[in-house]
Amino acid sequence: MTDFLQVSTTTASREEAMNLLRSAVGAKLAASGQVFGPAGSVFWHLGELGDGEEWQLFLRTTRDRYADLEAHLIEHHPWDNPEVTFTVIDGGSERYLEWLSREASSS
């Protein structure tokens, strides 16, 4: 049951995260998603330690749609090198996973 993924990225604002979410779900690259934040963040950037606030975006999709979703997020993301990662959804209710598969389909 590893055909389902939760994909995440972060943005500098809620508006940017919501725009990415709307465009990805609207293109049927993901079935659904949520935005959370702001979250405190500490990171290395251009050789310097930085900190700030970010908004977290989580989307649910299928493994088949991941490459297209990743490309979409990177193309539409305001940052040059955004984090785009996924976690395997290793279980869930059968009806939910059927819905996820149906809604993230390319047809």
In the predicted structure, residue 2 carries a pLDDT above the cut 70: no
Q: What is the pLDDT of residues 29-39, one digit of tens each?
A: 999 999 999 99
In the predicted structure, residue 1 carries a pLDDT above the cut 70: no
Q: Two tokens at 1?
A: 């049951």
In the predicted structure, residue 21 carries a pLDDT above the cut 80: yes
**Ordered structural domains, the chain, with CATH:** 4-103 (3.30.70.120)
Measured from the Cβ of residue 75, the count of other Cβ atoms closer than 10 Å reads: 8
Q: Which amino acid is at 71?
A: A
Q: Which amino acid is at 86?
A: F
**CA 100, 18, 107: angle at the middle one, nearest 5?**
35
Q: Two tokens at 8?
A: 């995440």
Supply the pTM of this predicted model: 0.92
The pLDDT assigned to 106 comes to: 74
Share of the chain above pLDDT 70, in %: 97
Largest CA distance in the chain: 47
HSE toward the beta carbon, residue 107, CA cutoff 13 A = 2
